[in-house]
Structure 1
Amino acid sequence: MADILLFSYGTLRQPEVQRTVFGRELDGRPDAIVGYQLGEVTITDAAVIAASGSAVHPALVSADPDSGVNGTVFALTATDLAAADDYEVDDYTRVLLPLRSGAKAWVYVLAAATPDGVDHAG
C-alpha cells in the first residue's frame, strides 16, 4: 500500500528517473516545503548521472522560515522508498519534515545542512 509520503523538488520528479528508480511513473500533487532554499550538489555516481542526465543536482539547505521550495508529493510503498534511498547519493539524508499543506513527508536534504531535532531515516 502506498501510504508513505515523499516530497521531491528535483530529479525524482523526472519521468525518466521515476521509470529507472521505481519501474513506473508516479502520480503526485504539488506542495512546498518551508524554511529551505535550493542549493546544488555535484554528483559523482555514474548511475545517478545517467538516470538524471546531469551531474549537478538541486539540494535543500536550511533558510529563513519565510523561504520555501515548490515540489511534488508522491505516495510511495516501503519498497518504493527503499528504491529512492538507493538512488539518492550520500550527499543527501532523508528527513521527515512538515509541508506547506500541513502533511509530513520524507525529504532528501543536503546532509551537511540537516537541522537538529529532525526525524532521520534509520
Structure 2
Amino acid sequence: MSEILLFSYGTLRQPEVQRAIFGRELPGRPDEIIGYELGEVTITDPQVIATSGSAVHPMLVPGTDSAGVPGTVFAVSAAELAAADAYEVSDYKRVLVPLRSGDKAWVYVLASTDSPG
C-alpha cells in the first residue's frame, strides 16, 4: 500500500482534533506548502466548531509562486483521508500540491479557487 501524505496548516494539527477524527494522534514532520497564502474562514458547522474549539479556521488561498505557508505533513491511510474529508466543511476542497521538500501531499484549500501553477 502506498503512503498517502496529508499536509495540515490548521486544526488537523491539534491533538484533540486528531483524536476525534482519526482515533489517534498522528506523527508528522514540518514542511511548507508553496504558492499559497494564509487567510481565514468562519465555520458554521456546530460539530466542527465543537471538535476544533473555534469557529474561525485558517484557509489557504492562492498566492505568489514564492509564497509559502508552514505546516505539518502526516502519513495517513485511505480511511483516515476519508475521515479528514468528512471533517472538512464545504468551504474547503482537497487538492494535491507540491511542498517545499519536493514531496506532494493532499491539502485542503479554499473551495472556490483553482490550485496555482
Flag structure 2 segments of 5+ consecutive residues without an equivalent.
none
CA apart distance, 1:66: 1.0
User: What SS is found at the alignment partner of 2:85?
Assistant: helix
Question: How many angstroms apart in 1 are the aligned matches of 2:62 and 2:100?
Answer: 15
Letter in 2 for 1:109: V
Contact 2:62 2:116 in 1 (8 A): no
Contact 2:28 2:72 in 1 (8 A): yes
User: What SS is found at the alignment partner of 1:112?
Assistant: coil
Give identity over the alignment, percent.
72
Question: How many angstroms apart in 1 are the aligned matches of 2:116 and 2:32?
Answer: 21
Question: How many angstroms apart in 2 are the aligned matches of 1:107 and 1:86?
Answer: 14
Cα offsets for 1:40-69 (capped at 9, x unmatched): 111011110001000000000001111100
Letter in 1 for 2:28: G
User: What SS is found at the alignment partner of 1:85?
Assistant: helix
Contact 1:2 1:76 in 2 (8 A): no
Letter in 2 for 1:38: L
CA apart distance, 1:113: 2.1
Where do 4+ consecutive residues of structure 1 move more than 4 Å? none
Contact 2:63 2:116 in 1 (8 A): no
- TM-score when normalising by structure 1: 0.92
Match of 1:88 in 2: 88
Match of 1:9 in 2: 9
- TM-score when normalising by structure 2: 0.96
**Structure 2 CA distance for partners of 1:2 and 1:17, relative to 1, 3 Å:** farther
